[in-house]
Amino acid sequence: MKKYIQSFRLFFGNCQIRSIVLFAAVISGLTVLCGIIGCFPMNEFLTGLAEGVPTMLSSLSAVFGLIFMNALYQYLSPVTPGHKYYASLPDGAAHFRRAIAAGNLFGIVSGLVLLALINAAYKLIGIDNNFVFFGVMLLFIAAGVCNFTGFIRNNSARIIVMMGVFCGFGFLAGFFGFLADAEDAGTTRLDPLFSSAGITVTAGLVSVAVFAAGLIYALMVAEKKWGESL
């Protein structure tokens, strides 16, 4: 495990990790604040803020870990500052592979922690927390897709593919809700998607499977792709 953390630090140093921790602290702080505001409703504006901000933060938390992973994959490109440094290191390819594994773990764990916090805030406010489950699914799918697309050399192409997959994911969620004509029943459009335990478990398993496949693929080809980037 120490080796994996060391490889992760090799690529990100100390300060980058500190800025990400700061970012996570801001999300956490905002969520806690919204939870407190939700507990003591004073006016509609603040209640709206308390309900709306965590919804936005849940999606943000889901893609939080991608900041690391995307930055890591960019070092494969010779035009990225730092590429020559990493390319000249002893065991650079092995460090890269280990950093991918650690980056995935960090992304998933930090995303889950933030989503759990947001879930708690939702419960305090007393609104439905389907968005949290949606966020968890997005977290796993985003990480999996990032692992698959990480080796696309063209930066723009990589971002376009990732955005396409995320948009498709959002479209599917909305589409199922729309099919169920959810708003007429007075519920949010995501409710039908999570009303059945079977659908919820299946959706969860599919997203974890996408993540696992992406991670396995990335770990299998990392050293080869590192060599090809030189």
Partner 1 sequence: MENNYCVRTRGLTKKYSKFTLGALDMDIPEGFSTALIGANGAGKTTLIDILCGVTNRTDGEVTYFGDSRDISDPDLRERIGYCASSAFFPLGFTAKDIAVSMEIAYKSFDRAKFADLCEKFEVDSENTKKPRPMHKQSDGNRMRTCLASVFARSTELLVLDEPGSSLDPLMRDRLCDRMREYLDDGDGRKSIIFSTHNIADMENAADYAVFMDKGHVIEQGFIEELKEKYIVVSGDAENWEQAKSLLMSGSHNRTTFDGLALSENSEALATLNVETAAPTLQQLSVGLLKYAEEHR
User: Closest CB to partner 1 among 123 and 153?
Assistant: 153
Residue 84 region, left (φ>0) first, then alpha (ψ -120 to 50), else beta? Answer: alpha
Report which of 116, 117, 111 is spatially closest to residue 30, judged by C-alpha positions: 117
SS3 helix, strand, coil % of the chain, rounded to 5? 80, 0, 20
Regarding 101 and contact with partner 1 (CB under 8 A), the answer is no
What does the alpha-carbon distance between residue 154 and residue 58 come to, in Å, rounded to a whole number?
29
Residues in 130-159 that interact with partner 1 by CB under 8 A: none
> Binding-site residue total for partner 1 (CB under 8 A)?
22
Among 91, 128, 181, 183, binds partner 1 (CB under 8 A): 91
User: Closest CB to partner 1 among 91 and 183?
Assistant: 91
Regarding 88 and contact with partner 1 (CB under 8 A), the answer is yes
The SS3 of residue 64 is: coil
What is the DSSP code (8-state) at residue 129?
-
User: Closest CB to partner 1 among 155 and 188?
Assistant: 155
| Beta-carbon count within 10 A of 143 CB | 27
Among 84, 123, 153, 224, binds partner 1 (CB under 8 A): 84
Regarding 1 and contact with partner 1 (CB under 8 A), the answer is no
Regarding 21 and contact with partner 1 (CB under 8 A), the answer is no
Regarding 81 and contact with partner 1 (CB under 8 A), the answer is yes
Residue 33 to residues 28, 55, 135, Cα–Cα distance (Å) = 8, 14, 20
User: Closest CB to partner 1 among 53 and 72?
Assistant: 72
